[in-house]
Amino acid sequence: MRLKLEGIELLRDMGKVMGLFVVILWICGVLFAFVFKIVLPPGEKPVAPEFTFRNVGPCLGIDRKRVEKFEVGDKQYICADMETDKSQAQLYLYIFTSENKDQVYVDGAKFNSGPIMYHIAPPLPPGKYWAKISLGRSALVDFEFEVVEK
């Protein structure tokens, strides 16, 4: 048989439940603060990885033959030699028109240090383009290239 609580007894019973809830919430907050302090100590910022790029620009096919410009009908690739202190980096290639900076292409892939290559598919139409390779929002390298008629 359960007693029906009214008035002061009901408030005392609810007070015990609320007190227990506050104690549990406080313990969770202390544990969160302790874990957060271990994971990211105050005043220390994460170290950004270092990147070095060489031979960045348009290239033809798997042999990575560098070209100054693409001709219509060429298989279009963007190649580079990259060195980084990060084991693997998610890099993005953004391509814009040179005149009004409209984005026309984006691709992302994970790379290790060494040669990297993006395949541009479908191929870009004739025109002048500006491209950048970035990590997140930070542009690591940018360059211009052109696609011309044969």
In this structure, are 1 and 64 located in the same domain?
Answer: no
Angstrom distance (rounded) from CA 37 to CA 47: 17
- The number of domains in the chain is 2
In this structure, are 63 and 27 located in the same domain?
Answer: no
Residue 72, domain extent: 51-148
In this structure, are 2 and 34 located in the same domain?
Answer: yes
Angstrom distance (rounded) from CA 78 to CA 125: 15
Q: What CATH number is associated with residue 67?
A: 2.60.40.1930
Q: What is the pLDDT of residues 56-98, one digit of tens each?
A: 999 988 788 899 899 998 899 999 999 998 888 899 999 999 8
In this structure, are 59 and 133 located in the same domain?
Answer: yes
Q: Look up residue 37 and give its amino acid.
A: K
pLDDT for residue 145:
94
- Mean pLDDT per 10-residue segment, the chain (150 residues): 61 74 88 70 69 92 86 92 90 91 92 93 93 89 93
In this structure, are 75 and 129 located in the same domain?
Answer: yes
In this structure, are 42 and 94 located in the same domain?
Answer: no
In this structure, are 117 and 64 located in the same domain?
Answer: yes
In this structure, are 59 and 15 located in the same domain?
Answer: no
In this structure, are 23 and 56 located in the same domain?
Answer: no
pLDDT for residue 138:
84
For the entire predicted model, the pTM comes to 0.67
pLDDT for residue 40:
58
In this structure, are 23 and 90 located in the same domain?
Answer: no
Q: Give one DSSP letter per residue of the chain, joined into a string.
A: ------THHHHHHHHHHHHHHHHHHHHHHHHHHHHHHHHS-TTPPPPPPPEEEEEEEEEETTTTEE-SEEETTSPEEEEEEEEESSS-EEEEEEEEETTT--EEEEEEEEE-SEEEEEEESSPPPSEEEEEEEEETTEEEEEEEEEEE--
In this structure, are 19 and 88 located in the same domain?
Answer: no
In this structure, are 32 and 83 located in the same domain?
Answer: no
Domain boundary among 28, 46, 64: 46
* Residue 19 φ/ψ, nearest 5 degrees: -60, -45
pLDDT for residue 46:
65
pLDDT for residue 16:
77
